[in-house]
Amino acid sequence: MIRFNTGRVSFSRIHSMESKQKDVSPTRKRGKLPPSLERRANGLALLLALLASCPALAGALQSALPRCEYLENPLGLDVAQPRLSWIVESGQRDQKQSAYRILVASNQAMLARGQGDRWDSGKVASSDTTAIPYGGKPLTSHHRCFWKVQVWDKDDNPSAWSAPALWSMGLLEPGAWQAEWIGCDKWRRLDAPPASGPGAKPPTALILPPPIYLRKDFRLPKAVKQATLYATALGLCDVYLNGARVNESRFDPGWTDYTKRVYYRAYDVTDRLHVGANALGAVLADGWYGSYLGWRGVRDNYGKKPRFRGQLHIEYVDGSFEDVGTGPAWKASLGPIREADFLMGEAYDARLEQAGWNAPAFDDSAWSPVVTGAELHPVVQHHPGPAVGVCGLFRPKRITEPKKGTYVLDLGQNFAGVARLQVAGEPGRKITLRFAERLNPDGTIYTANLRTARATDTYFCRGSQTEVWEPRFTFHGFQYVEVTGLADPPTPATITGIALGSDTPSCGSFTCSDPMLNRLHTNIYWTQRSNYLDIPTDCPQRDERLGWTGDAQVFMRAATLNADVQAFFTKWLVDLEDGQRTDGEFPRVAPLKVVRDNGGPGWADVGAIGPWTLYEVYGDRRLLERHYPGMTRLVDYRLKQCTPDRLPPAEFHCFGDWLSVNADTPKDVIFTAYFARSARLTSLAALALGKSEEAAKYQALFQQIRAAFNKAYVAADGRIKGDTQTAYVLALAFDLLDGPKQKLAAAHLVEDIERRGGHLSTGFLGTKDLMLTLAKIGRNDLAYRLIEQDTFPSWGFTIKQGATTIWERWDGWTPEKGFQDPGLNSFSQCPLAGVYQWMVENIGGIRADGPGYSKILIAPEPGGKLTHAAVSYRSIHGRIESRWQREGAWFTLAVVIPANTTAEVHLPGRMQTPIAKSGKALAQAEGVKLLRQEVGRAVLSVGSGHYVFTSTLE
C-alpha cells in the first residue's frame, strides 16, 4: 500500500542525534548498526559485525527508494516529464544494474496487475538509476501515476518489482486554476507607514495585523473517488477540511520573490470528504510576504494585502468532476491568533477560539465578506522542494529562576523552531515566552544579539485544566526559553522544544574516537537544520534570516553530506535565478528583498558554484542545463566589469573574507580568485553539457585570469598580496598557481598557521577551503592540528564555551571579553561549518570520483589522536561507508560500496590483506583488484559490496 504524501512532513529518516526521536531510516532498517554499537565502533569484531548485520542485502539486485523529481511520492507536480530515480542494492560483490523496466499506471490495481497503461518503458538496457524522464502518454492536470520498477543484475537476472510509488500532476494548463485570490483587509492599517524604521526598537505586543480565518461550506452530492486540495498564499496558509488541519507542514507555500512566482502545495484529501455537508477553512498569516524582514524595521515587504487561494479538485465515483475553490462566497473573521510575525513572534488568545469554525454547520453569519483579487500577479507553480516540518523534539534539561517569577528552561541544544507550551491558568492569564541562544552571566537570557527581533510569544489562557499551544506562523533560534506569567513554577512538561526545518532527509553519519569532533559534527548538523528552512538562511534568530548567497556558497557542499538537499536547492536556485540582475550579477540574498542586489565576489559566485556543486553531487544534468545560462551571464558580467588585463575595476562591492581573525585578505585578490573560479566551473559545465566551444572559451578565460592573478599578486617567492591564510587558500584551492609557486605558497600558508601557534585566521571564504587545501598540499597533519585545537580561534574553542551549533564568528563569546558586538553575533550560522566536507573526505575518506558519486574514492587519512572513525554518506546511488580502526600498528578498514558503482580504495600502510570472509590476499579477493602499490599505501579497485582490509601503519 502506498503511503500518500498528504503534505505531511514525516522526517522518517530523521537523524537521531541529540533529539529523542527514533532513527527509522531505511538504511538503519537494512542493517546499519544500532547506536550503542555505533558509538563503540571499536574492535575488529565490530567491523565484521557490519558484514553480518545486513540480512536484507543478501541475494541479487533489488531496487529501493523510488523517487520522483527527487521526492518521495510527491503530489501536484507541474513538470511535463517528471524524472524517476531509485537505488539498487545487493548483498553480492560487484553487482551492477544491466537493465530496468518502469511501469506507470493510472491506478493501483492496474499497477498491481502489471499493466502500465500510462507507460511501460519495456526492458531498457541501461545502468541508469537516476533522473529517468517519464516517457509515456502525455500527462494532464490531476493525473495520478502509480509506478514501480524492475531491475536486472549484471548476469541478466531480474529482480522483483519495487514497492509501488506515486506521483500526481498538479494544475498544468492555463486556466486550470479557477479559484480566486481571497483575503480581507479590514483589520489591516493599509495607510499606515512602516511600523518602525532603521534602528527602531522592537514593537510592543499586539500592534501587528492579525492573521485572518477564512471558511466556506459546500455540499457534495455523491460519493468521491479521489480528491486533491491545492493551496497557495501571498503570505502563509494553514488549510483545514471538515474540522481538521490538512497540512502538518509549516510556512506553506514557502518563500519566493512573490513579485515573480509563488508556489502551491497539493494534499490528498480523499478520505476527509463526505457525501453531504463539508467545510473548507484556512488561516492566512503575513509570513515572508508581510512580516518584518531583515533589520530595517520594515513590514509589508512584498505587499500589504495577504491572500489565500485554494482549489479542491474532486473526482466522483461516477467519473464526473467538480472543483470547489476560493471566491467571493467565502467568509472571513479574526480568530485566536492575534499576531504572527517571523521576527516578532506570535500571540494567541485562547478565549477567542471559535469551536467548529472549520467544520460544517458552523454559524458564520457574524463573519465578514472577503475581497477577491491580489495586488501582485506572480506565476503560480508547484513547490519543487521539501516542506518545512518538525525535525526534532527537545525537553528541558535544566530549569532556573534567575529573577523571582522569571523562569529559564534550557533545552540543551540550539535550534530553530518553536516552544510548545503546556499550562493551566484562569481565563485571560497572560504567559510570555522569550527566546535566546545564550545566557547572561546572571542566568537571564541574552537577547542583545537578536537586534530588533522581539522574538516573543504570548499566550492568553482559555481557563481549562490543561492547555497546550504552539505557534504556527513564527519561529525563533534558541536554546533557552524564558517563561513569565505562570500560575505555578514550570516543570519539564511546561515546555517542549520543537525543531523546525526543511524536510531534507538525513543522509550522513559521523562518529570517531574524539568526543569533541563528534560534538563538532552534531553542532554542524544542527546549524544546518536550523538554517535550511525553505531557503538556506544566514541565521535563524536575529532580525535577518535571509538567503545570503555567500553563506549558501561556502556551506552547500558540506550540507550535501548531512542531508539530501537536492530538491531543496533545486528550489533555491530558482530563487537565485529570479534575483539575477539583467547585467548578470547575482544578488546578496535570494529571494530578493530588503538587501541590495549586488552579491559581489564570493557571494554572487554561488550562481556558478551552486549548479556545479549540485551536478557533482547528484549528477543532475537538467538542473545544470537550466542554470548554465546564468553561470555564463555572471562570468560575462565580471569580464565586463574588469580591466582589459582581467583585473578588478577601481571600485567594486565585496564583503571580503567576512569575519576573519586579524587577517584582511585584499578584496582585489578575492575578486580575481573567484572570477577565475566561476570561469573555470562554467567551462566545466559547458563541457559536461557537450558545448565544447564554450568550454574552450571559458577555459581560455580562466587561464587569462590565472595569469593576471600571478602577475598582479604573486611574488617570485610565492608570497601572495595580503599574505593571509585565505589568500593562499584561494590560490591553491582554485588552482591559480604553477608548480613551483604552489610549493612556495603552500609553505607560506603552513608558516602562517605555525606562527599563530596552530591556529587559523580565516573568515567565511577562507574557512571553506582551508582544510581541503591542507589536504591537497599533503599537510593533513596540520589539518588535524587545527580540528583538534581547542584554544581561540578554533571550532574546539567554541565547543569548550558550550557551543551546540556553529557560531557566526570565532569570538562570539570569549572568557576575556564576554559577548562580541551584538550587532553581528549569531550562534548559529553555516559558513564556518563547511569543515564537514573535510571531515567526511579525509577522516572518513569518502569522496566523489565522478558526477553523482557514480565512481567513489575511499581514501581515509588517519591522523591526529584518532584511533577510530566511522563515516557514512547515502549518495544517490546508495549508502557509502568507511570505518577504520587503529590498534597498535594494525589498521583495519571496512568499506561499503553501493551496487552499480565502483570505487578506488586507498589503503594506508603496508602488508595489506583483505580479511573479510575470504581471508585471501588482496590480489585474490573477490571483487578486489590491486591497481598499484604506492609509497605508504595500496591502491585498489573494488566493485560494490562490503570489504574489510587490514594493514600495518608505518
Least Å distance, CB 490 to ligand BGC, is 33
| Pick 180 or 551: Cβ nearer ligand BGC | 551
- Grid coordinates representing 50 are 557490519
Least Å distance, CB 658 to ligand BGC, is 5
Least Å distance, CB 829 to ligand BGC, is 6
Using CB under 6 A, which of the segments 15-23, 316-324, 542-550, 938-946 binds ligand BGC? 542-550
Least Å distance, CB 824 to ligand BGC, is 6
- CA 608 vs. chain centroid, Å, equals 19
Least Å distance, CB 548 to ligand BGC, is 4
Least Å distance, CB 593 to ligand BGC, is 15
Q: What are phi and psi of 422, to 5 degrees?
A: -125, 115
Q: Shortest Cβ contact with ligand BGC: which residue?
A: 538
Length of the chain: 954
Least Å distance, CB 943 to ligand BGC, is 43
- Grid coordinates representing 594 are 530588503
Asked if residue 277 lies in contact with residue 360, where contact means CB atoms within 8 angstroms, the answer is yes
Say whether residue 587 binds ligand BGC (CB under 6 A).
Answer: no
Least Å distance, CB 97 to ligand BGC, is 43
Please spell the DSSP secondary structure of 598-615, one letter per residue: ---TTTTTHHHHHHHHHH
Beta bridge mates, 664: none
Q: Which of residues 164-183 bind ligand BGC (CB under 6 A)?
A: none
Distance CA 942, CA 43 (A): 24
Q: Which of residues 877-936 bind ligand BGC (CB under 6 A)?
A: none
Asked if residue 563 lies in contact with residue 504, where contact means CB atoms within 8 angstroms, the answer is yes
Asked if residue 726 lies in contact with residue 831, where contact means CB atoms within 8 angstroms, the answer is no
> How many Å is the maximal CA-CA distance in the chain?
85
Q: How many residues bind ligand BGC (CB under 6 A)?
A: 9
Query: Which candidate in 180, 544, 585, 616 is catalytic?
Result: 544
- CA 144 vs. chain centroid, Å, equals 28
Asked if residue 749 lies in contact with residue 725, where contact means CB atoms within 8 angstroms, the answer is yes
| Pick 300 or 551: Cβ nearer ligand BGC | 551
- Does residue 89 have an active-site annotation? no
- Does residue 754 have an active-site annotation? no
| Pick 66 or 666: Cβ nearer ligand BGC | 666
Please spell the DSSP secondary structure of 895-941, one letter per residue: EEE-TT-EEEEEEESEEEEE-STT---GGGSTTEEEEEEETTEEEEE
Distance CA 216, CA 311 (A): 12
Q: Position 337: which residue type?
A: I
Q: Which of residues 455-494 bind ligand BGC (CB under 6 A)?
A: none
- Grid coordinates representing 944 are 560494490
Query: Which candidate in 180, 339, 482, 808 is catalytic?
Result: 808
Using CB under 6 A, which of the segments 342-350, 546-554, 675-683, 879-887 binds ligand BGC? 546-554
Distance CA 343, CA 295 (A): 10
Least Å distance, CB 547 to ligand BGC, is 10
Helix 764-776 / helix 725-733 crossing angle, nearest 10 deg: 60
Distance CA 21, CA 15 (A): 8
| Pick 171 or 659: Cβ nearer ligand BGC | 659
Least Å distance, CB 583 to ligand BGC, is 21
Using CB under 6 A, which of the segments 85-93, 145-153, 251-259, 538-546 binds ligand BGC? 538-546
**E strands, 329-378, in order:** 331-333, 337-341, 345-349, 368-369, 371-372
Say whether residue 544 binds ligand BGC (CB under 6 A).
Answer: yes
Asked if residue 726 lies in contact with residue 663, where contact means CB atoms within 8 angstroms, the answer is yes
| Pick 593 or 877: Cβ nearer ligand BGC | 593
Residue 517 CB contacts under 8 Å (≥ 6 apart), including other chains: 510, 787, 788, 839, 843, 866
| Pick 23 or 543: Cβ nearer ligand BGC | 543
Say whether residue 235 binds ligand BGC (CB under 6 A).
Answer: no
| Pick 7 or 602: Cβ nearer ligand BGC | 602
Using CB under 6 A, which of the segments 50-58, 135-143, 536-544, 564-572 binds ligand BGC? 536-544
The DSSP H or E segment spanning 569 is helix 566-579
Q: Which of residues 80-119 bind ligand BGC (CB under 6 A)?
A: none
> Edge-to-edge strands of the sheet including 878-887?
508-512, 868-875, 878-887, 890-897, 945-952, 910-914
Say whether residue 539 binds ligand BGC (CB under 6 A).
Answer: yes
Q: Cis (ω within 30 of 0) for the bond into 591?
A: yes
Least Å distance, CB 780 to ligand BGC, is 29
Q: Cis (ω within 30 of 0) for the bond into 793?
A: yes
Least Å distance, CB 655 to ligand BGC, is 4
Q: β-strands 379-382, 261-268: how paired?
A: parallel
Say whether residue 658 binds ligand BGC (CB under 6 A).
Answer: yes
Least Å distance, CB 831 to ligand BGC, is 7
Say whether residue 655 binds ligand BGC (CB under 6 A).
Answer: yes
Distance CA 783, CA 96 (A): 37
Residue 921 CB contacts under 8 Å (≥ 6 apart), including other chains: 913, 914
Distance CA 526, CA 112 (A): 41
| Pick 467 or 575: Cβ nearer ligand BGC | 575
Distance CA 274, CA 557 (A): 48
Rule CB under 6 A: choose which of 534, 538, 543, 861 binds ligand BGC.
Answer: 538
Say whether residue 605 binds ligand BGC (CB under 6 A).
Answer: no
Asked if residue 724 lies in contact with residue 766, where contact means CB atoms within 8 angstroms, the answer is yes
| Pick 537 or 672: Cβ nearer ligand BGC | 537
Say whether residue 810 binds ligand BGC (CB under 6 A).
Answer: no
| Pick 349 or 544: Cβ nearer ligand BGC | 544
The CA-to-CA distance between both ends of the chain, in Å, stands at 55
Using CB under 6 A, which of the segments 238-246, 543-551, 613-621, 847-855 binds ligand BGC? 543-551
Say whether residue 72 binds ligand BGC (CB under 6 A).
Answer: no
| Pick 542 or 706: Cβ nearer ligand BGC | 542
Using CB under 6 A, which of the segments 365-373, 405-413, 415-423, 537-545 binds ligand BGC? 537-545
Q: For the window 826-855, what string marks contact with ligand BGC as x by the rule CB under 6 A?
A: ---x--------------------------
| Pick 632 or 761: Cβ nearer ligand BGC | 761
| Pick 183 or 547: Cβ nearer ligand BGC | 547
The burial class, CB within 10 Å (0-12 / 13-18 / 19+), for 58 is exposed
Q: Which of residues 547-566 bind ligand BGC (CB under 6 A)?
A: 548, 550-551
- CA 601 vs. chain centroid, Å, equals 23
- Grid coordinates representing 51 are 558484514
If we measure between CA atoms, which residue out of 8, 13, 10, 16 comes closest to residue 525? 16
Distance CA 808, CA 234 (A): 32
Residues with active-site annotation: 544, 808
Residues lying near ligand BGC in the complex (CB under 6 A): 538-539, 544, 548, 550-551, 655, 658, 829
